[in-house]
Structure formats: structure tokens, C-alpha cells
Amino acid sequence: MLIRAVTLSDIHTWLNLSHEWDGLVNKLISDISAFYEGFDDYMTAKIAQNEAYLVEDGVSGRCLGVVAFSKKTTEYLILEFQK
């Protein structure tokens, strides 16, 4: 397993991981588009602030998940792992 900083070229992978959870998000909120509003800006900011890391299989290179956090607070932690 390899953990590395997320780069701008990983945004598509991160977004795909997020969409794998659409079914769960849809159960939690009525308008799923509201969940993704501003998500591109969020991802870009986390990358710029070195607050997002990608976990990938060391053999296949397959993305296993993305971890994003805030250096200012420890309250918010987002884990997205492939099903």
C-alpha cells in the first residue's frame, strides 16, 4: 500500500470515488447536486493546502481511497474508500 499526496491530475479519480457513494448520499439529502456544489473548489483547495492523500495498491497502482482533512481543526475528516 502506498500513501501519497493527491495531485490535480487525481481529481478525476477522487470525483469517481465520491460518486460511488451517490446512493448513500441520496438517502441522506434530497438534492444530491447540492452535495457536489463547490466540490471541485474543495478538492483543489485541499490539494493546494497539502490536506489530501491518496491510498493506492502498491502492486496494481489501483486507487483504494482518498483521505482529506483540515490542518486547522481535527474535527473534519473525510474518508472515501472504494467499495
Report the pLDDT value the prediction gives residue 83, as an integer from 0 to 100.
Answer: 59
d(CA 7, CA 46): 10
Q: Please list the ranges in the chain whose pLDDT falls under 50.
A: none
Question: CA distances (Å), 16 to each of 49, 73, 74, in order?
Answer: 21, 26, 25
pLDDT in tens, 59-72: 998 888 888 888 88
Report the pLDDT value the prediction gives residue 35, as an integer from 0 to 100.
Answer: 67
d(CA 46, CA 74): 14
Whether this model's pTM surpasses 0.85: no
